[in-house]
Amino acid sequence: MAATILDGRELGRTIEKDLMSRIDNLKGRGLHPHLAVVIVGDDPASHVYVRNKEMACERCGIKSTRIDLDSSVTEIEILKVVEMLNLDDSVNGILVQSPLPKGIDESLIIDAINPQKDVDGFHNVNLGKLVQGNTSGLLPCTPAGIMKILEFSDFETSGKNALVIGRSRIVGMPLSILLAQRGIDATVTIAHSRTKNLAEICRQADLVVAAIGRAEFVKPEWIKPGAMVIDVGINRIPDSTRKSGSRLTGDVDPDVMDIAGWMTPVPGGVGPMTIAMLMSNTVMGTELFSNI
Ligand code: GUN
Q: Are 292 and 30 in contact (CB under 8 A)?
A: yes
Secondary structure class of 20 (helix, strand, coil): helix
Task: Say what angle helices 8-28 and 270-289 make with each other, to 10 degrees.
Answer: 20
Ligand 1 centroid – CA 98 distance (Å): 5
CATH architecture of 141-271: 3-Layer(aba) Sandwich (3.40)
| Active-site residue set | 53, 97, 120
Secondary structure class of 244 (helix, strand, coil): coil
Please list, residue by residue across 176-197, b when 16 or more beta carbons sit within 10 angstroms of its beta carbon and e when fewer do: bbbbbbeebebbbbbbeeeeee
* Nearest CA owner, ligand 1 atom 3: 98
pLDDT at residue 171 greater than cutoff 90: yes
Q: Is 96 left (phi over 0), alpha (psi -120 to 50) or beta?
A: beta
Distance separating alpha carbons of residues 275 and 88, to the nearest angstrom: 23
Question: CA separation (Å) from 14 to 107, 111, 149?
Answer: 33, 32, 12
pLDDT at residue 154 greater than cutoff 90: no
Task: Using CB atoms within 10 Å of the CB of residue 24, give its burial: 0 to 12 exposed, 13 to 18 middle, 19+ buried.
Answer: exposed
Which H/E stretch holds residue 180? helix 172-180
Spans of all domains in the chain: 30-114, 141-271
| pTM value > 0.85 | yes
Q: What is the pLDDT of residues 85-103, one digit of tens each?
A: 999 999 999 999 999 999 9
* pLDDT for the residue numbered 291: 79
Q: What is the mean pLDDT of residues 231-260?
A: 96
Ligand 1 centroid – CA 4 distance (Å): 28
Which CATH number is 30-114's, of 3.40.640.10, 3.30.2450.30, 1.10.10.10, 3.40.50.10860?
3.40.50.10860
Q: In the structure, what pLDDT confidence band is assigned to residue 26 with cuts at 50, 70 and 90?
A: very high
Q: In the structure, what pLDDT confidence band is assigned to residue 58 with cuts at 50, 70 and 90?
A: very high
